[in-house]
Amino acid sequence: MKIPKRIQPLVDDGLVDSVLQQLMSGKEATVYVVQCGDFIRCAKVYKEASKRSFKQAVLYSEGRKVRNGRRARAMEKNSKFGREQQESVWQNAEVDALYKLADAGVRVPQPYGCFEGVLLMDLITDEEGAVAPRLNDVSMSEEQALQDHLEIMNYIVCMLNVGIIHGDLSEFNVLVDERGPVIIDLPQAVDAAANNNAKRMLLRDVDNMTRYYSQFAPQLEQTKYGQEIWALYEAGALSSNTVLTGIFIEKNQETDVNTVLHEISAAREEYEANRQRILELEL
């Protein structure tokens, strides 16, 4: 196909050999499948701010640090240079998040750098080598839904442990390959410690994912993973080894301690049973 204008510089520099097809066009970018030497990758071409329909971007970028004083002042004044820098920060946020999350053990596409508003990264494929489907196009068994939902919850924990909240996580921002879910689309990634909207966005991310998997495993509807994760995070008790239960008791709620302890114990037993079944299936 004809090489898009924004990708042409990457072709000129030898980073991309050819453009094979347009994969999708969304609210913030258009994604193409490209040939890079012996590898098939994808090129995410970010749309200009005036053409981008991602709403309330300022809510997501709150708290992002700009180390260069001149850039920060220009962004505050909203000058032409400042707007250009805002775009650069928005685009580089995804690259930075992808590297951080990969190091933290979250399954995301491997990035290869952002060049003048074009992000090069791995193309996620299925067993046959075709583009992996989005989660919203996938059906699954109850057992698979429970397994994948728990995996996503653990990814959210890993993200929070390195100070990141996706901010727009849903079944449309998760791909599924033969190994399970892969999280994508992170330009709006939220700084958990510096953004006043962090808790609300984390709860929304968790609710979105739980709502989707509940179609296949209705028992998930009663869980409160988001509140549990945030409470552990605020208490400084969240780690990659945290075993989630999905149980959360509001502080102002009168509770029977023995009942709560029994529910937590039962949840842990169910978790271990599910984990054992998964291990047996893998063997």
Residues 6+ apart with CB under 8 A from 197: 59, 60, 62, 190
Q: What is the dihedral of CA 256, 261, 267, 272, to 10 degrees?
A: -170
Q: What is the pTM of this model?
A: 0.79
pLDDT class for 274, splitting at 50, 70, 90?
Answer: low
Q: Which two tokens stand for residue 4?
A: 């898009």
> Model confidence over 81-96: pLDDT tens digits?
545 556 667 678 889 9
> Model confidence over 127-146: pLDDT tens digits?
898 999 999 999 999 999 99
Tell me which residue of 97, 116, 105 sits closest to 191, measured CA to CA: 97
pLDDT score recorded for residue 91: 72
In a 13 Å sphere around the CA of 240, the CA atoms on its Cβ side amount to 9
How many other CB atoms are there within 10 angstroms of residue 231's CB atom? 16
Q: What are phi and psi of 238, to 5 degrees?
A: -95, 135
| AA identity, residue 57 | A
> Model confidence over 99-114: pLDDT tens digits?
999 999 999 999 999 9
* Residue recorded with tokens 């969240």: 238
pLDDT score recorded for residue 85: 59
DSSP state of 221: G
> Model confidence over 148-207: pLDDT tens digits?
999 999 999 999 999 999 999 999 999 999 999 999 999 889 999 989 999 999 999 999
> Model confidence over 227-271: pLDDT tens digits?
999 999 999 999 989 999 999 987 765 555 566 566 666 666 666
Rounded mean pLDDT, 219-229: 97
Answer for the pair 43, 7: CB distance below 8 angstroms, yes or no.
yes
Rounded mean pLDDT, 206-221: 98
Distance CA 189, CA 199 (A): 13
Higher pLDDT, 15 or 279: 15
**In the chain, which ranges are continuous DSSP H helix?**
8-12, 57-61, 69-77, 80-103, 142-161, 198-213, 225-234, 257-282
> Model confidence over 7-20: pLDDT tens digits?
999 999 999 999 99
pLDDT class for 54, splitting at 50, 70, 90?
Answer: very low
CA distances from 158 to 94, 105, 145, 147 (A): 16, 7, 20, 17
State the angle between helix axes of 69-77 and 80-103 in degrees (0 to 180), rounded to the nearest 10.
120
Give me the domains of the chain, ranges plus CATH numbers: 135-282 (1.10.510.10)
pLDDT score recorded for residue 195: 92
pLDDT class for 66, splitting at 50, 70, 90?
Answer: very low
| pLDDT over 60 at 125, yes or no | yes
Q: What is the dihedral of CA 266, 269, 274, 280, to 10 degrees?
A: -160
Distance CA 140, CA 182 (A): 16
| pLDDT over 60 at 77, yes or no | no
pLDDT class for 281, splitting at 50, 70, 90?
Answer: low
Q: What are phi and psi of 125, to 5 degrees?
A: -125, 165
DSSP state of 214: T
